[in-house]
Homo-oligomer: A and B are copies of this chain.
Amino acid sequence: MKLAFKLQDIVGILAEGTIEGGTDEPITNIAALSKAQPGDLAFLGNRKYTPEVKDCRASVILLFDDYEGVPKPGQAFIRLENPSLGLARICGAIEALLWPQAEPGIHPSAVIDPAASVDPSAWVGPHCVVSAGAKIGPRTSLESGVHIGREVVLGEQCRVAPRVTVADFCQVGDRVRLHPGVVVGADGFGFETDKGIHKKVPQIGNVVIENDVEIGANSTIDRARFSSTRIGEGSKVDNLVQIAHNVVIGKGCLIVAQAGISGSTVLEDFVIVAGQAGVTGHLKLAQGSVIGAQAGLRSDTEAGGYYRGSPAIPASLQHRIDILNKRLPELFKRVATLERNTAG
């Protein structure tokens, strides 16, 4: 971050807390208690780190109300009921300062089709393309080099980062964030093979992204064969994730980096797919199920179930197998001993 706060500014952002001691040092960074230097703000978010406070060199420390101790010279304590919440407020204030709402307008280098509609409160940055029939909603910003295809609808207050592609006919809700390099609406991977020739199956559906979704950098979400690939409201997708054609993701799901979901699979609400996991096609993942990192899921899940391994099985069984696997050398020896003894 490139900001400097005075103690006063921080107190102002918090709008609560008891101050003890003081500092003239401008605060330019947030750091862990054990690593903080003068000029840093540190925080005691978890009581197990309480002993670290007394050696902490931060200029400002957010603490629990009942912390026993006093600040060092040139150091300020701010006592709060919930220091983590206080930190979140400060971070939110910094975020708003670092990334203010873009000024409305259209950069002269952007190419807007005459048949597109851009809300007057939206921002379209340099080298963006907005194609025929596309609609850009209020206060949505396209940062730079963004490609918006024909008939695409983007809702309000979306933030679209550099080099994002939203291909023809896709629909994006409100407050959606698309990080750099995201591709929404490339063709699904569908071929029919006839005598060794892979003939393309037309992919004539689209992608629908509901409100409050976030998609991480360079992730790819393919358009449906027909109808729609869908990412449900409030779901969050990390970087380099692959979501294939006709996948339907429910509300509040989390898909972690480098995971892949194959075609036509349905995720009910609040499903979690951890990093590098793979889910095969045409499955149904019931509400709240959790697929562990690097798991390879090949069958439907039960609501709230937790699955691990490749192929994935219930995590508790996989956990026992992981332990027993390490004991295989021992088991082979025990069987050999038994064989010697029973042969004797």
Contacts and interface: CB of A to CB of B under 8 A. Distances in A.
Interface of A: 1-2, 29-31, 88, 91-92, 94-95, 98-99, 107, 109, 111, 125-127, 129, 133, 143-145, 147, 151, 161-163, 165, 167-169, 177, 179-181, 183, 186-187, 189, 191-192, 196-198, 200-206, 214, 216-218, 220, 222, 225-227, 234, 236, 238-240, 242, 244, 251-252, 254, 256-258, 260, 262, 269-270, 275-276, 278, 280, 293-294, 296, 310-311, 313, 317, 320-322, 324-329, 331-332, 334-335, 338-339, 341-342
Contacts of A181: 163, 165, 181, 183, 218, 220
B294 A168 contact: no
A162 B147 CA distance: 7
Copies held by the complex:
3
A40 B95 CA distance: 46
A317 B326 CA distance: 8
A240 B240 contact: yes
Where chain A touches its partner, the secondary structure class is loop
A44 to B, nearest CB: 16
Nearest to A197: B234
Task: Select the residue from A91, A240, A339 with max chain B CB neighbours within 10 A.
Answer: A240
Contacts of A269: 196
Contact of A202 (B94, B192, B252): B94
Task: Select the residue from A126, A244, A270 with max chain B CB neighbours within 10 A.
Answer: A126
